[in-house]
């Protein structure tokens, strides 16, 4: 005979488990371009598949400065989201405030220590405890080119040095097209700048100038050469570039209005969303002079301390999903990046991603692997912000001499 009281208990247990198993997860990010939105939609799908409710907290603005401002006000008001896109040394700053959740239970159960390069795992930890989950590895030192435009202009191959680049850009100009699609926002100016530092100075110089912020390197003759080269690139951009979003600059290369763009491989997410094929419609190549180096940018989500049990469960599921093979594959196929999780099958990835993956491993051995300063990987957010402003001022004001530009960037680098 059916024991009603036993049944009632069983139902109560199931209901309680159901309540604790599902929760809302509010996620702050700045992934609003075509390729970015498609990528983040995959995470939403996975979380909804687990029964959770996804509360999207998107703050537009490439590079994430606007998102970080909004995040600060939410945390100060005592109302943080479950997770926020926070990267590099910024993770340590937030953890020091005591607002981040400890993800060790998930990390242990999922064996994160065995699945991540140690250097990446260390960035995700504060005082030995995981407080963030990594999503991907973006390579920043890429140059994107429209294959048809290069052909039209008589450029046989992607330029490998800055001299070759300027020769190619002259040909594009002569063909009546825009040589460099540039989005004029400070973080985009800074993205191009770090390519030039790396391409002109090499990875040891990049480490000294952009990671150690060594004054000798920052005021050296090499830095003068960097600023001269950087300024010359500007002469190949169109007058409408100030204020332009990065993805609109990518669209100029996709549509054949422009030949080149210097941008990290989130740009590839735009080519992919537009159904363009690498090697056929467009070319991915290392930025001039940076073939043996790799500026990395690891996106990650830091998790905030929450009180509600359902929300905590959803947050733990989010962390586990982010490091899961399903998400690491589908997200990165759309995003243009490569999985951060080790030993992933790269069969479905295109040649640009395969090249990125190969170069990531090779440069880690050779010493050519360097953190992107323009994307929050190299220095404290305050030093990064000050240098970014100085670089952008120099880019935007042709009246600032190279000597003064060098001085103001070196001075900005003393910001702590």
Contacts with ligand GAL, residue ranges (CB under 6 A): 30-31, 36, 62-64, 138, 246, 266, 297, 299, 375
CB of 8 to ligand GAL, least distance (A): 50
Query: Angle between the 186-206 and 381-396 helix axes, to the nearest 10 degrees?
Result: 110
If the CB atoms of residues 41 and 402 are measured against ligand GAL, the closer one turns out to be 41
CB of 117 to ligand GAL, least distance (A): 17
CB of 210 to ligand GAL, least distance (A): 16
How many Cα neighbours within 13 Å face the side chain of 204?
2
CB of 31 to ligand GAL, least distance (A): 6
Distance of CA 73 to the CA centre of its chain: 23
- Residue 161 tokens read as 């040095």
If the CB atoms of residues 31 and 236 are measured against ligand GAL, the closer one turns out to be 31
User: Which residue has its beta carbon closest to ligand GAL?
Assistant: 62
Cβ(8)–Cβ(292) below 8 Å: no
Cβ(102)–Cβ(129) below 8 Å: yes
**Distance between CA atoms of 286 and 173, rounded to whole angstroms?**
22
If the CB atoms of residues 190 and 205 are measured against ligand GAL, the closer one turns out to be 190
If the CB atoms of residues 205 and 262 are measured against ligand GAL, the closer one turns out to be 262
Torsion sign (Cα): 182, 184, 185, 189: positive
CB of 189 to ligand GAL, least distance (A): 14
Give the 3-state secondary structure of residue 128. Answer: coil
**Distance between CA atoms of 244 and 206, rounded to whole angstroms?**
27
CB of 295 to ligand GAL, least distance (A): 12
If the CB atoms of residues 30 and 294 are measured against ligand GAL, the closer one turns out to be 30
Q: 10 Å Cβ neighbour count for 384?
A: 26
CB of 72 to ligand GAL, least distance (A): 17
Give the 3-state secondary structure of residue 339. Answer: strand
Distance of CA 282 to the CA centre of its chain: 21
If the CB atoms of residues 88 and 310 are measured against ligand GAL, the closer one turns out to be 88
**Distance between CA atoms of 235 and 182, rounded to whole angstroms?**
11
CB of 266 to ligand GAL, least distance (A): 4
Distance of CA 344 to the CA centre of its chain: 20
- Residue 404 tokens read as 């003064």
- Residue 228 tokens read as 């001269």
If the CB atoms of residues 46 and 168 are measured against ligand GAL, the closer one turns out to be 46
- Residue 86 tokens read as 């926070």
**Distance between CA atoms of 222 and 39, rounded to whole angstroms?**
39
CB of 90 to ligand GAL, least distance (A): 11
**Distance between CA atoms of 117 and 9, rounded to whole angstroms?**
47
Bridge pairing between strands 83-85 and 24-29:
parallel
If the CB atoms of residues 189 and 299 are measured against ligand GAL, the closer one turns out to be 299
If the CB atoms of residues 26 and 36 are measured against ligand GAL, the closer one turns out to be 36
């Amino acid at each position: 005979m059916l024991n009603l009281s036993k049944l009632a208990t069983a139902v109560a247990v199931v209901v309680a488990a159901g309540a604790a198993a599902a929760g809302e997860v509010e996620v702050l990010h700045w992934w609003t371009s075509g390729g970015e939105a498609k990528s983040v939609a995959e995470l939403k799908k996975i979380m909804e598949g687990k029964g959770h409710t996804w509360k999207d907290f998107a703050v537009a603005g490439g590079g994430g400065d606007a998102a970080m401002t909004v995040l600060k006000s939410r945390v100060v008001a005592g109302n943080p989201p479950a997770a926020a896109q926070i990267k590099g040394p910024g993770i340590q700053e937030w953890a020091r405030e005591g607002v981040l959740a400890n993800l060790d239970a998930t990390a242990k159960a999922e064996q994160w220590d065995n699945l991540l390069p140690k250097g990446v795992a260390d960035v995700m930890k504060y005082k030995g405890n995981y407080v963030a989950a990594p999503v991907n590895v973006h390579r920043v030192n890429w140059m994107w080119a429209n294959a048809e435009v290069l052909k039209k202009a008589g450029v046989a191959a992607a330029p490998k040095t800055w001299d070759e680049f300027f020769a190619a850009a002259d040909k594009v100009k002569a063909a009546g097209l825009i040589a460099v699609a540039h989005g004029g926002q400070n973080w985009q100016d800074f993205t191009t700048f770090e390519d030039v530092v790396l391409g002109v100075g090499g990875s040891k110089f990049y480490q000294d100038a952009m990671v150690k912020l060594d004054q000798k390197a920052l005021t050296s003759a090499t830095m003068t050469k960097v600023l001269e080269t950087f300024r010359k690139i500007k002469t190949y951009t169109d007058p409408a570039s100030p204020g332009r979003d990065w993805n609109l600059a990518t669209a100029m290369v996709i549509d054949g209005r422009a030949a080149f763009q210097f941008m990290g491989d989130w740009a590839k997410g735009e080519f992919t969303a537009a159904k363009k094929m690498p090697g056929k419609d467009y070319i991915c190549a290392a930025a001039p002079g940076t073939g043996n180096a790799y500026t990395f940018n690891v996106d990650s989500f830091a998790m905030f301390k929450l009180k509600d049990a359902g929300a905590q469960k959803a947050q733990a599921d989010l962390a586990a999903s982010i490091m899961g093979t399903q998400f690491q594959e589908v997200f990165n196929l759309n995003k243009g990046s490569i999985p951060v999780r080790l030993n992933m099958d790269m069969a479905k990835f295109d040649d640009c991603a395969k090249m990125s993956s190969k170069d990531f491993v090779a440069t880690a051995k050779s010493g050519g692997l360097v953190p992107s300063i323009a994307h929050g990987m190299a220095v404290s957010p305050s030093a990064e912000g000050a240098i970014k402003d100085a670089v952008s001022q120099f880019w935007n004001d042709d009246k600032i001499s190279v000597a003064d530009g060098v001085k103001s960037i070196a001075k900005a680098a003393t910001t702590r």
